């Protein structure tokens, strides 16, 4: 997992993932980047491989978010259907009770 984080940082700083992000960096980010690069080298991960790992993780994160949104939408739809059924039952009951008068 740590390796994946390092890969993302390396890819971003190499300007492959987000060219805009490579400009504005705090001292901490630069220090982190150096740490990342060293650990990448220690693991014998090529820059290309690092980029691939980072892109794959970004893709995975995107898919996860999409799945979450899909689930939330499904839950919301179910809630709406329940409310509609409850309303219909209430209306029917009201009409039934009104018949007596």
Single out the residue of 54, 45, 42, 41 nearest to residue 11, CA to CA. 54
Single out the residue of 84, 79, 81 nearest to residue 92, CA to CA. 84
- 67-78 pLDDT, tens digit per residue, is 999 999 999 999
- 11-22 pLDDT, tens digit per residue, is 666 665 555 555
Query: Is 95 part of a structural domain of the chain?
Result: no
Structural domain span for residue 26: 2-72
Number of domains comprising the chain: 1
Query: Is 101 part of a structural domain of the chain?
Result: no
């Amino acid at each position: 997992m740590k390796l994946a984080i390092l890969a993302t940082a390396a890819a971003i700083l190499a300007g492959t993932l987000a060219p805009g992000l490579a400009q504005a960096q705090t001292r901490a980010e630069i220090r982190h980047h150096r740490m990342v690069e060293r650990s990448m080298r220690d693991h014998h991960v090529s820059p290309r491989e690092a980029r691939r790992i980072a892109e794959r993780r970004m893709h995975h994160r995107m898919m996860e978010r999409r799945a979450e949104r899909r689930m939330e939408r499904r839950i919301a739809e179910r809630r709406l259907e329940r409310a509609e059924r409850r309303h219909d039952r209430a209306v029917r009951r009201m009409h039934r009770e009104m018949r007596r008068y």
